Amino acid sequence: MIRSSVPNYKVLYGKPRLHAAIFVADQIIDEKTGLYFAVETELVDQVLSEIQLALTEMEEKGMQLKIEIKEKASGDEGEDEKLLYKTLRTTEGLVKVLVKRSCRPEFNMKKRAARKYLKRLQTVAGPELSTLKLATDISLSIGGAAFTQSAIVGPYAAAWWTKGVVDDSILTKIADVESLEQEEAAVEEDANSEDDSETETDEGDEGEDKDEKE
């Protein structure tokens, strides 16, 4: 399905690949389709790998991947920012549907709904470590450490079968990105403070010159 959505000629830019991967991911996330009930984790990993590859191609062409996470869209976002935000939410959605499916939601359904659900269900496979690593890398590249922790790692750790255990390599990667973000924020804050100080100094000099002329 992904291959048919990507042009046959050599893709020099990752957007066609990304759009194709998102299209397939949306079919998996939508519980009204058969993919939610039948897709194996390995295939979900392939979709996430396509997303990651597309982002790498886009970044190599000079596109800035990191975006600011907003509670509500302002309406003035560019097309690239909208696409990246969609990518982020799609990645989050893939992890959550796998977690949901593996946690056996039919146990909390009414009998009729549970029978209907089980009749369609082909697999209860949830996210593997490979799935979590791919989703984490994608999320970190776009949304940063805080979003990744809450939207990707959080739902995974909350699943009863994980017992709250998350691989150390993933936690370390998130911690490293968080530390880097804090350093960048500190540098930016220092730069802003210096600019403010220079502005105040210039205004003070202008005032003194004016007084001397008077």
Q: What is the pLDDT of residues 50-107, one digit of tens each?
A: 999 999 999 999 999 999 888 776 677 899 999 999 999 999 999 999 999 999 999 9
Contact present, 22 and 51 (Cβ < 8 Å): yes
Q: What is the mean pLDDT of the chain?
A: 87
| Rounded CA separation 15/21 (Å) | 10
Model confidence, pTM: 0.82
**DSSP class of residue 34?**
S
Read off the pLDDT band of 193 (50, 70, 90): confident
Identify the CA nearest to 48 among candidates 21, 12, 76, 13.
21
| Rounded CA separation 206/35 (Å) | 69
Left, alpha or beta for 109 (phi > 0: left; psi -120 to 50: alpha)? beta
pLDDT at 86: 96
Residue linked to tokens 């999320």: 139
Token output for 176: 């490293």
Token output for 210: 């004016």
Token output for 161: 């079968």
